């Protein structure tokens, strides 16, 4: 469809449009504003061109999170220690070509993991919650 600015715009069901999650609003000053939120049919918007925050109501994830792996270098098993709030996170171990070689969900802030089936070499360790990266690390297997 062509929007009121003469630009092609596509509506994506359940997601929004190609211009964002919520509709744009044009006013008499011919500027385009983003409709951040509607409450009881009243549009709440920024009065200056720019961006706005959309709050999803999700619990805030830890920032600058630390991922401790030991021993590193390792041979048979490693212990992973994370910060509180990072339990139930997904741990991914990838080889240097980016291939996923180990994936599991952490249970608690400290967990022992068998890595004896990994070939000697260097690996990237990626910790995520709901697909959002929390921490990165490196692991060396001897």
Domain ranges of the chain: 1-55, 67-141
In the chain, count of helices (H) and strands (E)?
0, 12
pTM: 0.55
Q: Under CATH, which number does the domain 67-141 receive?
A: 2.60.40.1930
CB 46 within 8 A of CB 34: yes
Res 80: pLDDT: 92
Q: How far is residue 76 from each of residues 27, 70, 71, 79, 127, measured CA to CA in Å?
A: 65, 11, 10, 11, 21
Q: Tell me how far apart the alpha carbons of residues 120 and 140 are, in angstroms, rounded to a whole number.
A: 7
Contacts for 25 with CB less than 8 Å, ≥ 6 apart: 32, 33, 34, 35, 43, 45
Q: Can you give the length of the chain in residues?
A: 142
Res 70: pLDDT: 94
21, two tokens: 């999650």
Res 27: pLDDT: 46
Angle at 68 between CA 66 and CA 72, to 5 degrees: 145
How confident is the prediction along the chain (142 residues), in pLDDT tens digits per residue? Answer: 565 666 666 555 444 555 555 555 444 455 544 455 555 666 554 455 555 454 445 555 555 667 789 999 999 999 998 887 777 789 999 998 889 999 999 888 899 999 999 999 999 998 888 888 888 889 999 9
Residue 37 pairs with which residues in a beta bridge?
44
């Amino acid at each position: 469809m062509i929007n009121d600015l003469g630009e092609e715009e596509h509506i994506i069901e359940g997601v929004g449009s190609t211009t964002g999650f919520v509709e744009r609003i044009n006013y008499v000053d011919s500027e385009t504003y983003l409709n951040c939120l509607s409450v009881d049919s009243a549009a709440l918007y920024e009065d200056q061109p720019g961006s706005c925050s959309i709050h999803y109501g999700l619990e805030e994830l830890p920032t600058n999170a630390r991922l401790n792996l030991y021993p590193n270098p390792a041979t048979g098993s490693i212990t992973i220690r994370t910060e509180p709030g990072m339990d139930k996170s997904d741990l991914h171990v990838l080889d240097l070509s980016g291939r996923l070689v180990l994936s599991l969900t952490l249970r608690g802030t400290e967990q022992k993991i068998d890595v004896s089936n990994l070939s000697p070499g260097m690996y990237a360790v990626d910790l995520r919650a709901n697909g959002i990266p929390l921490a990165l690390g490196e692991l060396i297997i001897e």
